[in-house]
């Protein structure tokens, strides 16, 4: 059983930055691929970024590529999402997720464990 707790969300002006963290406990964080997903107002949950078990491979949605960076520190059992040049359309609840297995995936159904989410609001 893996427990995931996100933090770092908040209110920021357009063009600003935030860094989300996801602290993992209770499982083998270092052997799992991890992902960030988000659910905006009136939208379905969508893929943001994913990283493989060792951090050597990352993938991003087209909407965040070049602005967001996913990373992980296996020694600290923590996943990060650095978000720069934020836009109002980035407003959403952001979720981290742990996948069964070491390889990245964009598919929510491939993830076994989810955090409770952290709200990010970008004002124009």
| Each residue's pLDDT tens digit, 22-33 | 999 988 899 999
Q: Confirm if 97 and 70 have CB atoms less than 8 A apart.
A: no
73 Cβ contact partners less than 8 Å away, ≥ 6 residues apart: 80
pLDDT tens for 60-114 read: 999 999 999 999 999 999 999 999 999 999 999 999 999 989 999 999 999 999 9
- Burial of 26-63, coded b for 16+ CB within 10 Å and e otherwise, reads ebebeebbbbbbbeeeeeebebbbbbbbebeeebbbee
Tell me which DSSP letter residue 89 carries. G
How confident is the model over 36-54, as pLDDT tens digits?
999 999 999 999 999 999 9
C-alpha–C-alpha distance, residues 104 and 89, integer Å: 25
């Amino acid at each position: 059983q893996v427990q995931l707790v996100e933090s770092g969300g908040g209110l920021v002006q357009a063009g600003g930055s935030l860094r989300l963290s996801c602290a993992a406990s209770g499982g083998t964080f270092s052997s799992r691929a991890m992902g960030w997903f988000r659910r905006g107002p009136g939208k379905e949950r969508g893929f943001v970024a994913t990283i493989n078990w060792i951090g050597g491979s990352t993938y991003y949605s087209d909407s965040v590529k070049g602005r967001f960076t996913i990373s992980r520190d296996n020694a600290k059992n923590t996943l990060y999402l650095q978000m720069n040049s934020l836009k109002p359309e980035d407003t959403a609840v952001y979720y981290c997720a742990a996948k069964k297995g070491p390889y990245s995936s964009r598919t929510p159904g491939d993830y076994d464990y989810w955090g409770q989410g952290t709200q990010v609001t970008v004002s124009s």
